[in-house]
Amino acid sequence: MTSKFNEFLLEQRAYIKIRSLLGDTPRNIHQDLVQVYGGEACSESIVKKWSLRFREGRVSVEDDPRMGQPIIATTANNIALVAEMCDSDPHITIEQSATSLTLSTGSVHAILTKHLDSKEDPGENCKKLLEKYDQCDERRLFEICTGDETWIRYSEPTRKEQNKVWIVKGVLPQHYQDQIIGPPK
């Protein structure tokens, strides 16, 4: 997503550069960008700023390097480690993951929500559990007590925090598959 966004920016800046050097007004340049890119076009104020920069002699359409530490927490390796931790223990908290991986809680949360498309959603889990119960034997059904559309597990965790599960979109964690279907024989 970021590279596609960056590609749009560079294309638009290149167009702004050429049209500005040819003497066209920022308003006309912006109207052309809106015709081509629609809602993805940069704003007229941005066009004015970049147009002025190019008329003053700027050559590059790329951003200048910025001060500060580069983002290194969301590497492919860290993403894989967080995914592995959530698969092995779906009740793990962000704080526990961050401590064991020596990452910040913000980095772990970003990996879970942006890169792994995970979210804490007990409703999704219930739907998947119901689908799995259709495929298993009846003795597993006795582990759930129902009443008034409320599902209560026969053996509830001791803390509310333990009840949360990180779910990757479309994938039921192995921990729950073993509980529903039973461990491999």
Residue 185: its pLDDT value, please?
55
Distance, CA of 111 to CA of 122 (rounded, Å): 20
How sure is the predictor about 1, in pLDDT bands with cuts at 50, 70 and 90? Answer: very low
Q: Count CA atoms within 13 Å of residue 168 on its CB side.
A: 19
Q: Are 19 and 29 in contact (CB under 8 A)?
A: yes
Distance, CA of 159 to CA of 26 (rounded, Å): 59
Any residues with CB less than 8 A from the CB of 105 and at least 6 apart, and which?
94, 95, 98
What is the DSSP code string of 99-121?
A: HHHT--HHHHHHIIIIIS-EEE-
pLDDT digits (tens, 9 = 90+) for 52-102: 999 999 999 988 887 776 667 778 888 888 888 887 777 788 888 888 888
Residue 95: its pLDDT value, please?
87
pTM, two decimal places: 0.39
- Check residue 64 and report its DSSP letter: P
Distance, CA of 69 to CA of 173 (rounded, Å): 35
Any residues with CB less than 8 A from the CB of 103 and at least 6 apart, and which?
73, 78, 97
Query: Which parts of 35-170 are beta strand (E)?
Result: 118-120, 144-147, 150-153, 166-168
Tokens for 21, please give them.
């050097």
pLDDT digits (tens, 9 = 90+) for 4-61: 667 878 899 999 999 999 999 999 999 999 999 888 888 999 999 999 999 999 999 9
Tell me if residue 177 falls in helix, strand or coil.
helix
- Check residue 22 and report its DSSP letter: T
Report domain extents, the chain: 2-55, 76-118, 122-181
Q: Over the range 37-55, which residues count as b (16 or more CB within 10 Å of their CB) and which as e?
A: eeeebbeeebbbebbebbe
How sure is the predictor about 135, in pLDDT bands with cuts at 50, 70 and 90? Answer: low
Q: Whole-number mean pLDDT of the chain?
A: 76
